[in-house]
Each structure stands twice: as C-alpha cells, then as structure tokens.
Amino acid sequence: MRNILVRMLRQLPPRQAQTRIVNWRSHHRVQRLDSMSDRRRLPSSAAVQVCCALTAAVILASCSSEPPGPQRPDPAVANPPSVGFVDTPAAGTVVGPILHVAGWAADESGVAWVRLYADDQIIEHIPMSVPRPDVEKEFPQFSKPGALHGWHATIDFGDHVGYTHISAEALDGRGALTRFAQLSVKIRP
C-alpha cells in the first residue's frame, strides 16, 4: 500500500506532493482514545494504509488534466474506429497564431470529445458542441436524436510558429481513441 501511495505522489508536482503528505500526516496521526477500562491506539496501521491509498486515489483523480470520459474499451467487443475531418484550417495554408479550428467526428457509440495536437503535443480537449446534419446524412449509421458531431475552438498557436503539424483524435463512447485527421499549416508570428 505504501508503495502505491509513493508512486501516486511522485506523479504530482513536488510542492503539491509535499503539501499532500504534510496534510495527510497531520490528519491521520494516531490518536489515543480514553475509555472507562483501557487505552488503545486507533486507527490501526492497516486502517491507516487503506485510508492513505483511498486519499491518494482521490487526490490523483482530482488532479487529472483530462476531461472525464467513458470507461476503458472492452477488448472482447468489436469497436470500429471513429471517423472525422478538420474543416478549418485547410492543409497547407498560412495562418495567424490565433487560429479557429473546426471539424466533425462521428462513431457508432458517439464521440465525447476531440483531442487536438500541435507537433505531437496535446493542446486542447474540445467537446462536441455543434449539430452536423451533413455528417448524419453522409453517415446514417451515426445518426441519433440529439447527437452532436461538430466541434470548434479558437486556440493560440503562438508557441508553434512556422510549419506546424496538426492532428486530431476522437474519444468514442467506449473509451477508444482514434486519430482521424492530420494536416500541416504554416503559422506566422
């Protein structure tokens, strides 16, 4: 149990991990209880270890930078890849550092969000937010009442001046990621 906590705390930034350890120690210090006939120590070391592991799990879950998504995919169930496209910007264009990026993604189990990369660095998680009847017409197997297939965001690409490779991944309703689009643009300063 202690090793699990140590591994979890190592994933946090040093100052945050140190704060968590100090808070945990002061909160879970072994306390003595007075009873009529005896004195005993509570909680036991096993209870402290369980509490420690649960606390670390909650801390790590609350520190996640990724938006919540579906559960992990079941490998026993066939899951066809998602489909999608980046509508803007067009491949090969010269654009400014503040860039409007838009497109669509679809999957039989639905798409929760699109992850956008610039030069293989995650730069944005974009939720599905736009109805796209054109996508539903082209792919009727993905047509569901109230389904949103479109996405868009305005992103500052200022750190990626010059030729930049943009790619997009979709997270489907079963938890699988599919890279569906790749393009290069030139970003001017």
The pLDDT tens digits of the residues spanning 42-75 come to 445 555 554 555 455 545 454 545 555 555 656 6
Per the CB < 8 A criterion, the answer to whether 159 and 73 are in contact is: no
Would residue 77 count as lying in a domain?
A: no
Do 29 and 93 lie in a common domain? no
According to the model, what pLDDT value does residue 187 have? 96
Number of domains in the chain: 2
Dist CA 78 CA 179 (whole Å): 17
Dist CA 151 CA 92 (whole Å): 21
Q: What are 12's two structure tokens?
A: 């946090």
> How crowded is the C-beta side of 161, counted as CA atoms within 13 Å?
4
According to the model, what pLDDT value does residue 3 have? 58
Do 89 and 25 lie in a common domain? no
- pLDDT at 10 > cutoff 90: no
Do 11 and 57 lie in a common domain? yes
Q: What value does the mean pLDDT take over residues 173-186?
A: 95
Can you give the residue range of the structural domain that contains 12?
A: 2-62
Per the CB < 8 A criterion, the answer to whether 187 and 99 are in contact is: yes
- CATH of residue 161's domain is 2.60.40.10
Q: Encode pLDDT of 78-135 as tens digits.
A: 889 999 999 999 999 999 999 999 999 999 999 999 999 999 999 999 999 999 999 9
- pLDDT at 148 > cutoff 60: yes
Dist CA 103 CA 92 (whole Å): 16
* Mean pLDDT, the chain, integer: 77
Query: Between 12 and 77, where is the model more confident?
Result: 77
